Structure 1
Amino acid sequence: MIKYIEKLVKKLKTSEKGQGMVEYALIIAFVAAIAIVALNNGLGQAVKDAFTGASNMVTSASNAAGTWATHKDT
């Protein structure tokens, strides 16, 4: 039984099966941690403000184009 356990431990030490998955999991955890820190430090509000500004500009341009098209037809 001891020989079997020693053989199993040796096999597990030399096996690279699953190593790539562990590396990907560590990378994902690192990126997630960085994202959480960045969003909690005000970056999230800055991104939200940028998208709100862009949305307002598109709405204004759309309204102006609609007004222009209405006046052009008359």
Structure 2
Amino acid sequence: MNKLMTMARQFRSDENGAAMVEYSILVGIIAAASILAILAIGAWVTGRFTGLCTILNGANVPGSCNATNGTGS
């Protein structure tokens, strides 16, 4: 019985599982924030490129710019 009580106390004071859950949640939050940042930067770059193509197509410069395909000549 004494051995069982000792094992129960050790199990109660063991915090490895709780730390693992906390680190897993932290990694998930960091991954989600990274994905959102990458998507935001991609949208910003796309907007800048589209604006640049609009300006170039409106100006009297030789060639053309297609923002949809990401091509130019």
State the TM-score, normalized to the length of structure 1.
0.47
* Structure showing the higher helix proportion among its residues: 1
Structure with greater contact order relative to length (CA < 8 Å, sep ≥ 6): 2
